[in-house]
Structure 1
Amino acid sequence: MSDNEEVTTPELAPRRTFGGVIAVWVIAALVGIAIGVFVAEEWRAAWLTVGLGGCLVVAFAIQLWFGRSQGFTERVAASVLGALLVMGVLSLGFGLASIVPG
């Protein structure tokens, strides 16, 4: 009984955290589309950077809200990397659309 300090209690019902990662990707898609629609072409790159910074803050907030410390940095990194890829694909689409004569 003297070794009780080494035993930790497991979480009984841990929350699923993958939904928080996907939520940041969806927010990145919505922000990217809004920037592409409402911002002038010469300012899109700057606003996409601001939008990605906002996604970083949202990723931290969502993962802190879940309250699990295990894998926190991996979940935030996956959230931000996914947001970067989503915004990059949207940026590529808007860039290609701007060079098409029309």
Structure 2
Amino acid sequence: MGHNGVMSQPALAPRNAFVGVLVVWAVAFLASIAVGIFVAEEWRVPWLLVAFGGVVLLSFAVQLRYGRTEGFIFRVGGSALGALLLMGVISVGFGLAALVT
């Protein structure tokens, strides 16, 4: 048999980066709901800030785990901004509920 050269490995399809963004948003949603339910009203805002800090760190970790440099800042920014908006809307809901009761 003749040697036809070195066979190359087929390129694997890259993982979907948007899944990491959705994971961060889901964690932000769950964290803000947990803070709203389990934390007293006067401590909600500080704990929401702590939860948001954790979500920002999670967004960095998820995107670093993804392992692609293209669009890193865009993905981390999208994760953090989406989480901020989501947590803000949920905190407004809890604030309005506190006014009613």
Question: How would you bin the TM-score normalised by the shorter chain?
Answer: 0.7 to 0.9
Work out the CA distance in 2 between the residues paired with 1:28 and 1:15. 22
Match of 2:21 in 1: 21
Stretches of structure 1 that go unaligned for 5 or more consecutive residues are 1-10
Please give the secondary structure, in 1, of the residue aligned with 2:68: coil
Please list every run of at least 4 consecutive aligned residues from structure 1 whose deviation after the TM superposition is greater than 3 angstroms. none
Letter aligned with residue 69 of structure 2? S
Larger-gyration structure (1/2): 2
Match of 1:91 in 2: 91
Work out the CA distance in 1 between the residues paired with 2:33 and 2:24. 14
The residue correspondences of 1:73-92 to structure 2 (distance < 5 A) are 73-92=73-92
TM-score, normalised to structure 1, is 0.86
Cα deviation, 1:5-62, whole Å, max 9, x if unaligned, reads xxxxxx6522110000011000000000000001000010000000000000000000
Match of 1:8 in 2: none
TM-score, normalised to structure 2, is 0.87
Work out the CA distance in 1 between the residues paired with 2:15 and 2:30. 25
Match of 2:7 in 1: none
> How many correspondences in the alignment?
91
